[in-house]
Amino acid sequence: MDNNVIIIVLVILVSLSAFFSATETAFSSFNKIKLKNLANDGNKRAARALALSENYAKLISTILIGNNIVNISASSLATVLFVNLLGQELGVTYSTIIMTIIVLIFGEISPKSIAKYFPEKYAMAVAPVISLLVTIFRPLNWFFNSITNLFTHFFKGENTDSYSSDEFITIVEEAHNEGDMDEHEASLLTNAIEFNDLEVKEILTPRVDVVAAEINMPYQEIEKMYRENGYSRLPIYEGNIDNIIGVLHEKDFYYIFYNNTKTSLRQVLGNLVYTSPQVKVSLLLRQLQMNKSHMAIVIDEFGGTAGIITMEDILEELVGEIYDEHDVIEEYYKKIDDKTYLVKGDCDIDDMFQYFHLSVKEEYDFVTTSGWVIHNLDCMPKVGMAFDFMNLHVTVTDADAKKVNVIKVEIKDELPKDLS
C-alpha cells in the first residue's frame, strides 16, 4: 500500500478513535434529567440518546468494539508505514512510541475532555450513528455480553442502583456549589429529603413552654393570654395540663367573650389529635390534615403531656421559619468575639453542631443544647460549670433548677489529638 494512502487512512482511524472515546464519555456523564426534559418537549435525538443509555451494556460494548477495531487497525498500519520508511527494527520501535502518543492525545485524552464540557449535545448529535452501529455489531454484542453475563453470574455484587437520603443531599449540595441551584432551593430540597426521618420530639414545644388555659379560668384571663401571646389557638385543660380536653380557637372565644352568650367553652373546643414523641412528622402531618386540625398534643409514655406540636412547626421544617407580626425573632447565638459565643439553652443541638462546623456522628436522645450540657456534666448544671467537647470549651453562664438557659462557647485553635 502506498505510504500516502496509509497516512490518510491513519488520520481517519485516529479520528474514529476520537469519535468513540468522546462518545463513551458523553454517554457516561450526560444529565438524564436534561435529556428527559428535551425528550418530553419533542426532541427526537434526545429520546434516542436516552433509549441508547437505557441498555448501557449494549451501548458500551458497541463503543468499545468500534474503538478497539480502529486503534488496532491504526497501530498495524502505522507499523507498516514506519517499517517501509525506517526498516524493520527502527520502524517497529518508532511506530509504537509515536502511535501511543498520537492515540493518547488525539484519540483519548483530548476528545474525552472536550465531550465532558457538553455531553448532552454530543450524545444527541451522535445518537443516530451509534444506533446504526449497535445494529451492525449486534452479533458481536450478543457474544461479548454472553461472556460478560457468565462472569458476572459468579461475581455478583450488591445492587447499588438506588440512592440513599445522604446521597441525595450530597447531590443537592454539589448542584448548589456548582451554581445550578440557589441557596433557598438547595435548603428546601434538603429539608424535604430529611423530612421523612424527622420525629415529633425534635420539633415539639415542650411542656414547660406550653401556654394553655384551664377550662374554668375567667374569660378576662383567657383574653389576656390571647392578647399577650398572639396565638390563634390555646390548649384547654381541666385540673392540670396533663388533662388537655380540647383546643380553643381565638375567633370562637372572642365570639363568646364579646357577645356574652350562654355558650360554654366546652361547646366550641376543637377535636384533639394525640401523638407520641417517636412518631414521624410526615405521618403526623397527614393525620392533622385528615382531622382538619392545626395542633396535636404530644403524650409521653406515662400518658402525661410532653408538649404540643402545630402545623406551623411542621411547615417550618420544610420552608424555614415563618414569622408574623406578633413573633419576636429569637437569636440563639450571640457573637462576643471571633472565638467566643453565647448560645441559648433551647437551641437545637444539631443546629449548634452545624453552626460550629462539628462533625458529630453520635445520636442523642435529647434535642436541645440544655440537654446536651446536662448529659456532658452528668448533673443539673450550675453557673460556672464547664467542660471540653472536641475543639469547644463550654461554660454554663445562666441556669436554673430545671434547665440551662445560656452557655458560653469558646473555640480552641485545634482539635484534641484523640478527636482530630
pTM: 0.54
Cell of 149: 453475563
pLDDT of residue 96: 87
Mean pLDDT for each 10-residue chunk of the chain (420 residues)? Answer: 83 92 89 84 87 84 89 89 83 87 90 89 90 87 76 60 63 70 74 80 87 91 88 90 91 86 83 90 89 90 89 83 59 86 87 85 80 88 89 89 88 56
For residue 195, what is its C-alpha cell? 423530612
* Cell numbers given for 90: 527502527
Give the burial class of 141: count Cβ atoms within 10 A of its Cβ; 0-12 exposed, 13-18 middle, 19 or more buried.
Answer: buried
User: What's residue 196's pLDDT?
Assistant: 80
Rounded distance, CA 100 to CA 102, Å? 6
Q: Please list the alpha-helical segments (H only) found in 30-118.
A: 32-40, 44-54, 56-86, 88-102, 110-117
- Contact, 261 vs 255, CB < 8 A? yes
Topology of domain 333-411, CATH: 3.30.465
Cell numbers found for residue 277:
414523641
Residue type, 185: E
Query: Mapping DSSP to helix (H, G, I), strand (E, B) and coil, where does residue 187 land?
Result: helix
- Residue 157: C-alpha distances to residues 154, 161, 164, 302 (Å): 9, 11, 17, 47
pLDDT for the residue numbered 236? 92
Q: 204 with 306: CB under 8 angstroms?
A: yes
Q: Residue 389's CB: how many other CB atoms inside 10 A? A: 17
Domain boundaries defined on the chain: 3-154, 165-195, 200-319, 333-411
**Assigned CATH for 200-319:** 3.10.580.10
Residue 214 has what pLDDT? 92
- In the three-class reduction of DSSP (H, G, I as helix; E, B as strand; rest coil), residue 292 is classed as coil
